[in-house]
Amino acid sequence: MATSISRSSRRGVASTLIRRCFAAEAALAARTEPPKPKLTVSPSPDRVKWDYRGQRQIIPLGQWLPKVAVDAYVAPNVVLAGQVTVWDGSSVWNGAVLRGDLNKITLGFCSNVQERCVVHAAWSSPTGLPFIFEFTGLPAETLIDRYVTVGAYSLLRSCTIEPECIIGQHSILMEGSLVETRSILEAGSVVPPGRRIPSGELWGGNPARFIRTLTNEETLEIPKLAVAINHLSGDYFSEFLPYSTVYLEVEKFKKSLGITV
């Protein structure tokens, strides 16, 4: 409030004429040009601008609690919400968001979801996307099977990825797509809804097109990559203490502020 008052007085508008509750909107209207329909925003005074707890990693919704296996590495700034299951040996790297609030998300054995991916699942309503689930019959949940490497910055939505695949970085897999076993998607590929990537092939591009079939050596490398990332995640896993010691700092703050600990 104080800043908006100072802003309007800086403009030379008599602040006595403007009542406090309209000051913010007047400043808004004066500043934005060309004039557009005024956005009436009524902010709440209780809104928290900074929470010392940060973002919770595991967010249960209703009765769904995300389940993380004991040896799976999930980075601290990952958000797992809703029905998410992270199975053994898998890893979810920094900044990923696995939002299973509408449907299930499963991350299979030794798979990994790399940095800043977003994995989401649409609900299976036929009034949703009218051309997907009636044709493909695939479930609307996102299933990432074992030994899959999902490259950084990918977006997966209601897709099924069969065992031993590599999804390139920044790829986009839309609803109902199926990536069959032992196939590789190149970086930056966009798989349109309902597309099936056949087994043992390399696809890429926007929209994803067939590039070539994979040689046997390349097919053997796919699970090796997943296992290598699994080893790497073991290093990261051992970096973290089982229980954080931040509570000591919190207690110190609370004591200094006079809040009972």
Q: Which residues bind other proteins (CB under 8 A)?
A: 3, 6-7, 24, 28, 31-32, 36, 39-44, 46-56, 59-63, 65, 77, 79, 81, 95, 97, 99, 101-102, 116, 118, 120, 123-125, 127-130, 153, 155, 157, 170, 172, 174, 188, 190, 192, 206, 239-241, 244-246, 248-250, 253
Which one-letter DSSP state was computed for residue 215? P
- Strand 142-144 relative to strand 155-157: parallel, antiparallel, unpaired? unpaired
Minimum CB separation from other proteins for residue 12, in Å? 17
CB atoms near residue 118 (< 10 Å): 17
Minimum CB separation from other proteins for residue 31, in Å? 7
Query: Which helix (DSSP H) or strand (DSSP E) does residue 220 occupy?
Result: helix 216-239
Token digits of residue 128: 């949703």
The 3-state DSSP class for residue 58 equals strand
Pick between residue 130 and residue 227 the one whose CB is nearest to other proteins.
130
Minimum CB separation from other proteins for residue 216, in Å? 31
Pick between residue 164 and residue 175 the one whose CB is nearest to other proteins.
175
Pick between residue 248 and residue 257 the one whose CB is nearest to other proteins.
248
Minimum CB separation from other proteins for residue 227, in Å? 26
Minimum CB separation from other proteins for residue 257, in Å? 13
Contact between 147 and 167 (Cβ < 8 Å): no
Pick between residue 24 and residue 214 the one whose CB is nearest to other proteins.
24
Pick between residue 40 and residue 256 the one whose CB is nearest to other proteins.
40
Peptide bond into 126 cis (omega under 30): no
Strands in 87-230 per DSSP E: 91-92, 97-107, 112-113, 118-120, 142-144, 149-150, 155-157, 160-161, 166-167, 172-173, 178-179, 184-185, 190-191, 196-197, 201-204, 209-213
Pick between residue 216 and residue 245 the one whose CB is nearest to other proteins.
245
Minimum CB separation from other proteins for residue 87, in Å? 18
Query: Which helix (DSSP H) or strand (DSSP E) does residue 68 occupy?
Result: strand 67-68
Instruction: Name the phi and psi angles at 224, rounded to 5.
Output: -65, -35
